[in-house]
Amino acid sequence: MTIYSHPTFDMACDQFDKVADLLSIDPQDRDRLKYPKRALTVAVPVRLDSGKVQVFSGFRVQHHLSLGPTKGGMRYHPDVALGEVAALAMWMSWKCALTGLPYGGAKGGVTCDPSQLSINELERITRRFTQEIISFIGPQIDIPAPDVGTNEQTMAWMMDTYSIHTGHTVPAVVTGKPVHLGGSLGRREATGRGVAFLIGRAMETLRLKSQDATAVIQGFGNVGSVTAGTLASTGIKVIAISDVSGGIHNPNGLDLNAIHAHLQSHPTLAGYTGGDRISQDELLTLPCDILVPAALERQITEKNAHLLKCRILAEAANGPTTPAADAILDQRPDLFIIPDILCNAGGVIVSYFEWVQDLQSFFWDEAEIMGKLYRSLENAFRHTVNTARDRQVSMRTAALSIGIQRVHQAKKSRGLFP
């Protein structure tokens, strides 16, 4: 399936092949499990504020349909490509299966740079993109959510466009909406809080104390910033963060309130003076207890894996570590890895709660949602740790094998049509 050729797709396939060997999955079943079931590419013509028309590329990939509708985010970023989206959809499948959600994985996006577009242009892109993929999504078909470069407002426009097409309000067509439109309490914070919860569980396992611990976070979007705030609230010192403009480092701990205040009036961390400027490469190799890549794929590679100086690598981003880096990290028992499909699963878990609440038109309070979220993550964490121990494999291989095995079992039981 060369249409998906992309370094990130190769990476997801590599991980899959390794686990398929470990689980002795019949070669006949492998391609069915690996390749996306459906993919849609659309041209999104949009009139810019200047009056000029620009055609953007839009994608939606649905990885497998064996356990229910598909689920996953919509990414707006200049690097969005079919193969990248396909890899992210595959990881959503394993993530949903690992956490027991009744979904297949999906992902989508538009190749664009949101920082260069006005709010009106973003609205027109979102509405036209939604219209182009409208028969491909739906509460029982495929349910988008936010990802890199999109947010609650994007989801509100998608929901509105879909609802106008249908003729009545359909909140369950997307998750990660504003709470006043049928969004779920706790959804905005869910991924970051989940990351912090799992870091806490890893610290217990390693007997590390919050009071003495330091954290470094790559990426200060929704996930990175909520993770930073939640870790800081437990006494962990956040000593470095970064965004597209580079990193800032303060060994005495960064003032997160001052950073949020800076970001109110500046688009990026550039110009913030409460720490030393450092590069992304320097940030990843700072000595710390907890390293949280919370940005894009393929950040930890064979070039820097041996230089990491953390105890816990908490993968808040999807696919931050390449298989070549994994081969190096596998030789480093000093490092506890919380693999992406476990680490950032809090987002899609609360998305599932949002979808259920929308379908039943009955909403839960935040305490109930957070309690259910932490129970789900605790189960997935234990299952992964136990599998890693019993099979003598890495945490990544353990998490992937639980997810892949569940999808495989579903496909086997349903059989092949016709």
Tokens found for residue 95? 């993530």
Residue 145 or 310 having the CB closest to ligand GLU: 145
DSSP letters for 258-294: HHHHHHHHSSSSTT--SSEEE-HHHHHTSB-SEEEE-
Cis peptide before 293 (omega within 30 of 0): no
3-state secondary structure at position 138: strand
Residue 73 or 104 having the CB closest to ligand GLU: 73
Give the nearest distance from C-beta 299 to ligand GLU in angstroms. 16
Give the nearest distance from C-beta 73 to ligand GLU in angstroms. 3
Per the annotation, the verdict on 71 as an active-site residue is no
Give the nearest distance from C-beta 274 to ligand GLU in angstroms. 30
Q: How far is CA 225 from CA 175, 196, 320, in A?
A: 20, 11, 17
In degrees to the nearest 10, what's the CA dihedral of 206, 300, 94, 369? 60
Q: How far apart are CA 406 and CA 79, in angstroms?
A: 31
3-state secondary structure at position 66: coil
Give the nearest distance from C-beta 96 to ligand GLU in angstroms. 9
Interaction site with ligand GLU (CB under 6 A): 71-73, 145, 147, 175-176, 318, 344, 347-348, 351
Residue 214 or 222 having the CB closest to ligand GLU: 222
Residue 72 or 275 having the CB closest to ligand GLU: 72
Residue 256 or 341 having the CB closest to ligand GLU: 341
Give the nearest distance from C-beta 60 to ligand GLU in angstroms. 13
Select the residue whose beta carbon is closest to ligand GLU and give its number: 73
Q: How far is CA 331 from the centre of its chain?
A: 26
Candidates 18, 34, 107, 237; catalytic one? 107
Find out whether 156 and 177 touch, Cβ atoms under 8 Å.
yes
Task: Please tell me the total number of residues recorded for the chain in this structure.
Answer: 418
What are the residue numbers of the active site?
A: 107
